[in-house]
Amino acid sequence: MNPALNVDRSAVPEPRENTRSAASRTRPFYWSVRRELWENRAIYLAPLVTAGVVIVGFLINAVGLLRGSGAAVSLQLPNQASPIELPYAIAAVLIAMVGVLTGALYCLDALYVDRRDRSVLFWRSLPVPDATTVLSKASIPLAVVPLAIFGIMAATHVAMLVLNLVLRLANAAAPALRPPMPLGELWVALLYGLAAMALWLAPLYGWLLVVSAWARRAPFLWASLPLIIAGILEKVALNTSHFADFLSYRLFGWFEAAFGGQRPCCLPHPLSAVAAGRFLTTPGLWTGLVMAAIFLAAAVRLRRFRGPI
């Protein structure tokens, strides 16, 4: 045997099959998410339009304050929101509400539209598993929408701050501008709140994806009517409202669990309202995530076997 060919095989690097296989697994998910963003621009356009409306309203409100109440800032009380602080809180709340509504409407159409226009036949021909498709659609309201909302909120607050500064510098009699609260702390609290809200509402998004994968028409009615009928039947038959209370808890209970009922937008130090430990130990969070996993598994199965409309 030629000694030149006697090479220590342990010194030869292994082929990069593992790296390529990992990339091949993540690339379909990445491009599936990109596809959702391309086809559903309302995901970020609706919060952007809301932010524009808020900025216009803030500008009108700031001009009114400069004309009529130069003492508005001096009326601020400890741990309460002044007239200057309120628009910052209103902007965050409105953009968040529009973002959640947009995410819910997106989930209702995510799998239904593909079946209605029969494009599901084309997407099934691609080497993309049904689980990857469903998870990419679920990632929109759970991850993409909260991040987009947070970016729009921060940009809106900066625009409001700059407008307020320009207006007050133009009016010599106006009091000096100071930030109504530490915006850095506020943004951290808002990012935490958006993440908490997305995790808490995960079963709602999962339920809407199941209905979107199953319904032949009117997915909104199929998603809402069973819940309404169940609440009415309980009230008529038992004269109780446990199911309605459960739905209210699943929709709005995240705020009490994540912030302990305090409003970070109205505190001098918004991070003092963050109760991450309490939120992570709340049983409702983990039962909701289990429900969301069950709904997503059902949506994957329906996506695999449900035919086009």
**Could you read off the pLDDT of 205-218 as tens digits, one per residue?**
999 999 999 988 88
Asked whether residue 16 is domain-assigned, the answer is: no
pLDDT tens for 110-146 read 888 888 887 777 777 777 788 888 999 999 999 999 9
Asked whether residue 293 is domain-assigned, the answer is: yes
Whole-model pTM: value is 0.81
Asked whether residue 192 is domain-assigned, the answer is: yes
Which of 62-71, 218-227, 262-271 is predicted most confidently? 218-227
Confidence of residue 103 (pLDDT cuts 50, 70, 90): very high
Asked whether residue 2 is domain-assigned, the answer is: no
Asked whether residue 134 is domain-assigned, the answer is: yes
Asked whether residue 238 is domain-assigned, the answer is: yes
- What is the total count of domains within the chain? 1
What is the SS3 assignment for 226? helix
Indicate if the pLDDT at residue 107 is higher than 90. Answer: yes
What are the φ and ψ backbone dihedral angles of 182, each rounded to 5 degrees?
Answer: -65, 110
How many angstroms separate the CA atoms of 56 and 306, rounded? 46
pLDDT given at position 221: 92
Percent of the chain past pLDDT 70, that is, above it, reads 79
pLDDT given at position 68: 59
Enumerate residues 6+ apart whose C-beta is below 8 A from 78: 268
Identify the weakest region by mean pLDDT among 15-19, 102-106, 217-221: 15-19
* E strand intervals along 32-148: none
Asked whether residue 169 is domain-assigned, the answer is: yes
Asked whether residue 31 is domain-assigned, the answer is: no
Per-residue exposure over 189-219, b if at least 16 CB sit within 10 Å of its own CB, e if not = bbbbbbbbbbbbbbbbbbbbbbbbbbbeeeb
pLDDT tens for 142-191 read 999 999 999 999 999 889 888 877 877 776 555 444 555 688 888 999 99
Indicate if the pLDDT at residue 38 is higher than 50. Answer: yes
pLDDT given at position 73: 40
Name which residue leads in pLDDT, 77 or 226: 226
Dmax over CA atoms of the chain, in Å, equals: 99
Name which residue leads in pLDDT, 254 or 161: 254
Structural domain for 284, as ranges: 39-305
Output the CA torsion 193→196→198→203 (10° steps): -150
How many angstroms separate the CA atoms of 218 and 221, rounded? 6
Half-sphere exposure of 246 (CA within 13 A, CB side): 13
